[in-house]
Amino acid sequence: MKLSILLDGLLLVFSLLGVANVCAADAESIARGKYLYDAADCYSCHGGPRGGQNGGASSGKLKLPSGGLGLDTPFGTFRSPNITPDKQYGIGNWTEGEFKTALRNGIGRNGEYLFPVFTYTSFTKLTDSDIEDLYAYIMSLPAVSLPNKPHEAKPPFSWRPLLVFWRSLFFKEGPMNTEPDRGKDWNRGNYLAHAVAHCEECHTPRNFLGGLDLGRSFSGNIGGPDKQNAPNITSDVKTGIGSWSIADIEQLLKTGMTPDSDLLGSGMKAVVQGTSKLTDADRHAMAVYLKSIPPIHVDLPPPNPATQDR
């Protein structure tokens, strides 16, 4: 009898330890996911309309990605969806696998092609573990019961089946490979700049079909989405950031202040809200990578990064 009680007690202890370990692992995954969510600046696209008008939801000080923001493009206005865990209007019914398919493949849970205004072209480069952590964090948020707003895209750009042709030209499925010869900081910075912060999506010009002109990556985008200008951030001295030091780039990513002590405009200001939450080591890694980008001289007068939006 005593042996049986002892065994039952041990089993209970082991069960409780197992539950505690699972809870600890979940908490750690959620914390890592929040770090990625902030760094990727998810709220600035999936929050309410700019200016905080009718659509932004919050829980205390926590702003929630309830969707509704319109992104004005040459192909029409696209509305960001509700990605809170609401089961009716958000992604509360999505499995982790379906979430991963959306980020990795650009395909929704019903098999539909997602419009590339959702930057799966960059998120596809995320590691499986980072996608899992991001899913854990988003699913830990309060649900917001707010219907999605329809896109206002122009035909034929509103026809999802036609995206198969766009994808064949401009989409390469990840994840991304490392380049060991480049070193740890460069590889980490490369990953953060491309997969997480998706800098290329704003700072690279696009062709008439909306695909990134990868031959001119990071050389700036004049009149991009929402008619915002993104400056040249290649290492060109005259039209880029070639004269900036790694410390200068780190300062900008942390505070939004340029080497000339000017503050960035509203678009990049939102990005810095995310990069300011990175660790010093990750901001250093991003600076190392950005400093290594080959120079591209642009003929158009570069927008002043202190006064222009991204």
Query: Cα dist. 234→198, 268, 306 in Å?
Result: 15, 16, 17
Distance, first Cα to last Cα, the chain: 72
| Tokens 């900008």 found at | 252
In this structure, are residues 132 and 140 in contact, taking their beta carbons and an 8 Å threshold?
Answer: no
Q: Which of 95-104, 188-197, 219-228 has the lowest mean pLDDT?
A: 219-228
What is the pLDDT at residue 139?
97
The per-residue pLDDT for range 243-255, each reduced to its tens digit, is 999 999 999 999 9
Give 160 or 222, the one with higher predicted confidence.
Answer: 160
- Mean confidence (pLDDT) of the chain: 87
**Main-chain phi, psi angles of 285, to 5 degrees:** -65, -45
Cα separation, 37 vs 148, in Å, equals: 21
The pLDDT of residue 306 is: 47
pTM of the model: 0.85
Cα–Cα distance, 244 to 286 (Å, whole number): 14
- Averaged over 156-167, what is the pLDDT? 94
pLDDT in tens, 192-217: 999 999 999 999 999 999 999 999 99
- Closest alpha carbon to 31 in 103, 166, 134: 134
Residue 6 has a pLDDT of: 60
Residues 6+ apart with CB under 8 A from 121: 106, 170, 171, 172, 201, 212
223-242: average pLDDT: 85
Peptide bond just before 205 cis, omega within 30 deg: no
Mean of pLDDT values over 280-306? 85
pLDDT in tens, 22-45: 455 599 999 999 999 999 999 988
Tally of CB atoms within 10 A around 14: 10
The 10 Å Cβ neighbour count of residue 131 is 22
